[in-house]
Amino acid sequence: MNRPVVRHAWVPLALLGVAAVAGYGIIAANDTSDQTQADSALLAGLGGAAVVAALFAWLVSRDAERPQRWPAWWVGVVAFTVAIPLGWAAGRSPRWPAVDPALAVVAIVGTAIAIGAVVLHWTPSHSVRRRVVLGPALWGMVGAPTIALVLELLGVAAIVAGGVIGLYIADPALVERVSDVGVEQIVQQSGRELMTTPTVIFGIVVVYAVIAPLAEEFAKLLATAIFRPRVSPTRFDLIACGAFAGLGFASVETLMYALAAGDQWPLLAALRAPVALVHVAAAMTAANGWPTAQTGYVGVARGYGLAVLIHGLWNGLTVSVLVLTATVENPDQLSPLVGALMLGIFGLMSALIFGCATGIIAMARRFGPTAGDGPPPAQLDPRQGQEPLTERSTAISSATLGSA
């Protein structure tokens, strides 16, 4: 298949992005309340992301096999370091609401550019085929979040249904009381105590540290199945599909969280920038196990399992911070035990991010020089040292063997 599956995807994405930005303009012009501006900023940010995705789809549709040179890493660093301070300044002064989503998109795109430049740093001319860069990035921004969300909702529904059935078997009167009072009112009354009960903690851990990684890594791995070259894909083609699917996914996820935070988005975008390394490293690990002519399907299960482990460990550590925070009544008076646990968790999170960055660089350095569609290296004649087996050398060797 010469043309990718995103051949016409840029049209609806572009229309969706333009419609979202136009809708934002209409809402912002007619309602200046803070809540409306925050909601419309999210709409504008998603519209901007749709326009970026449409650009990727358009470039891939023109020539998927054409080498795509990625911007230099310093371009992303400059974009990020300029957008964050400007975002802080804009949040503390009267401004047109479009400043927030525009700067947030610039900051997040800057993060993606910097990480993508590292992935492609060791490839010939710092470039690789569009289908394994822009195609997976588009999938990570649009397809993977949609599929992951559906799978996560199904998993949560199964857990809730199982919990209700088990609770009804153990204590029917309690289920009836919850039904009469309402879950929302019980949550409001219980507050912090509910968040620290073992059952609730277990449910949160299962959702965030098990279901979410299983769904998201599966959705990102589909980019490798869809966009990998059909003829003789190199190992770098596979990990590039994973890397840029992870970048696209992390970018949209961070954008949604950032814009939902209102004028505090610069802090959230800065804190979540390293999380992109976790998404990229996990997706590269899963894609690295994709079977080739020399490997079997065992590698897929191994790579996918390791990716889920990396992602699940990060989510589990994040949930641990939230649970410990819920146990603190007065933030100004932390107990020594809670303080030590928090420091330990932050240390493990820092180590995991460092390990993910190291893994990304190691895979890029190992497989990057093999990227491209150039002819395979000349086969060497063991009898002639470094002389390649050309037609002339093969004829001479055959004559020599014949005369012997």
Integer-rounded Cα Rg, in Å, for the chain is 25
- The pTM for the full model equals 0.82
Q: Which residues of the chain have pLDDT under 50?
A: 1-3, 373-404
For residues 360 and 363, what is the distance between their CA atoms, to the nearest angstrom?
5
For residues 164 and 174, what is the distance between their CA atoms, to the nearest angstrom?
10
Contact yes or no for 342/98 (Cβ under 8 A)? no
Please tell me the predicted confidence (pLDDT) of residue 403: 36
DSSP string spanning 128-172?
EEGGGTHHHHHHHHTHHHHHHHHHHHHHHHHHHHHHHHHHHHH-H
Report the DSSP pairing between strands 67-69 and 127-129.
Answer: antiparallel
Contact yes or no for 70/117 (Cβ under 8 A)? yes
Please tell me the predicted confidence (pLDDT) of residue 278: 97
Please tell me the predicted confidence (pLDDT) of residue 43: 77
Please tell me the predicted confidence (pLDDT) of residue 390: 39
Q: Which residues pair with 380 in a beta bridge?
A: 388
For the chain, domain boundaries: 10-368
Contact yes or no for 54/17 (Cβ under 8 A)? yes
Please tell me the predicted confidence (pLDDT) of residue 385: 39
- Three-state SS at 331: coil
- Three-state SS at 217: helix
pLDDT tens track for 183-193: 555 555 555 55
Q: Which residues pair with 143 in a beta bridge?
A: none
Element (H, E) at 318: helix 298-326
Q: Please measure the distance between the N-terminal and C-terminal CA atoms of the chain and give it in whole angstroms.
A: 50
For residues 270 and 75, what is the distance between their CA atoms, to the nearest angstrom?
17
Q: Which of 304, 312, 150, 292 is nearest to 242 (CA)?
A: 304
Tokens representing 361?
């660089």
